[in-house]
Amino acid sequence: MRAYVLDLAERKGLSHRIDATGNLVVEKPASPGKEGAPVVVLQSHLDMVTEKNSDVTHDFDRDPIQPRMDDGWVRATGTTLGADNGIGVAAMLAVMEADDIAHGPLELLFTVNEETGLTGVLALDPGAIALKGRLLLNLDTEEEDKVTIGCAGGSTTRLTLPVDAAPAPGSVTLDVKVSGLKGGHSGGDIHLQRANANKVLSRVLTAALAAEPFRLVSIQGGNKHNAIPREAAARVVIPAGARDVFTRAVEAETAAIREEIRQTDPDARVEIAEAPASNQAWTEEWTRRAVALLHALPHGVLAMSQDIPGLVETSTNLATVTANGHVSVLLSTRSSVASAMLDARRRLRSYADLAGAEVEENEGYPGWKPDLSSPLLAKFREVHQRVTGKDPVLEAVHAGLECGVLGEKFPGMDRISFGPVITGAHSPDEGVRVDSVAPFYRLLVEMLGELAGN
């Protein structure tokens, strides 16, 4: 992706700078007569979330995304599309290439590794990138007629639980698999109360343990810290004569869960199937401890904002579970209130202490506090009214945007974010609505002209 951007920059004769992390800024001089206008920074991230359905064969390191038109939407086939944030990158490339739009001096900032927890922009070297502009147009918003003016901060916590194994003679080995859930963005979709596959699996296993003790062989669920898990699976061994009791317990709990989530996840499934015999399994004690930890850990909205109606303040996503000699659980926590973020992480540490798990926390990234007095916001509202005939909706989002980090690295940066309609980000249901793209690009072009003094 970066090579593609550099190739276009070189063909257009534009200078560029790259830092050690791979963040890239391309400079485009002002159009004739606009040299005295303030420098404007356009910014999008080059990476995407690589999620696919389990029945789809796709190697993201080698295979191209297979896009398709779907009743006015562009979607991928069985995978994420990459409209988040590829559509913002596309708009910036169009601006780089255009010779017929009015604009002042531009700095086009392409960041990397946003989807891994904003790690690319967190490592951005202000000395190497050296932005001169203090007006930032971030193109990573996913709703039409809205302008984002604030976002939550985020962090991850990893819990590691050791497990002991022992021989499992004379047992029946079964796979329990959760599938058919919608998943979605762990920030933008968390308020929709969609089911989490890791939580569904831990719940049916907890019910099964109450009916018939079993031992875990393995457990896995989720793929990304910022995606609500859609699928999860566990391999268990049970006494030879206990299959019917185990199956009835799983099916009864599944029926209850399906009734509870019928509106959000109508296609949810929990299936039991024969598995290759396992000679080793976790001990009953460590099985119970692992299942109890997963069942107890929180997922979903923890608090709503008391300042902005309808905005999630704090949440946690029980993102991934893996087992390889130990159980590793990754949780992603978001909050627009720093003290609430700290308390949520302390709660996760308390769960770990009770279970005997080790804890590893990353530093996280800062939020972005809304500024209703922003001159850039006022200008955007004027342009939006002129282009669309209506005022934009002002919103803060419960998701991470690079605006917060860039505001810290480049003090005095005035910031807004906008974009076309994208739904299902971070899941194979991701799509961008075609008829929202042209108005988005027109808004961008009109804003550049307005900021250049047109």
Calpha distance 134→250 (Å, rounded): 57
Token digits for 57?
Answer: 């064969």
**DSSP, res 446:** H
Residues 6+ apart with CB under 8 A from 343: none
**DSSP, res 191:** G
Is the CB of residue 231 less than 8 Å from the CB of residue 181? yes
Token digits for 339?
Answer: 């003290």
Calpha distance 419→240 (Å, rounded): 57
**47 in active site:** yes
Is the CB of residue 26 less than 8 Å from the CB of residue 97? no
Instruction: Point out the catalytic residue in the list 19, 47, 140, 313.
Output: 47
Name the one residue in this structure whose structure tokens are 């497990």: 163
**DSSP, res 436:** G
Residue 377's φ and ψ, nearest 5 degrees, are -65, -45
Token digits for 437?
Answer: 């793209």
Instruction: Point out the catalytic residue in the list 51, 84, 107, 114.
Output: 114
Report DSSP letters for 199-210, one per residue: HHHHHHHHHHHH
Strand pairing category for 300-304 and 165-167:
unpaired
**DSSP, res 39:** P
Report DSSP letters for 322-378, one per residue: EESSEEEEEEEEEESSHHHHHHHHHHHHHHHHHHT-EEEE---B--B---TT-HHHH
**DSSP, res 215:** E
Calpha distance 143→158 (Å, rounded): 32
Number of H helices and number of E strands within the chain?
11, 25
Strand pairing category for 73-76 and 24-28:
unpaired
Residues 6+ apart with CB under 8 A from 244: none
- Helices 284-296 and 338-355 cross at an angle (nearest 10°) of 160
Residue 275's φ and ψ, nearest 5 degrees, are -135, 160
Enumerate the active-site residues: 47, 114
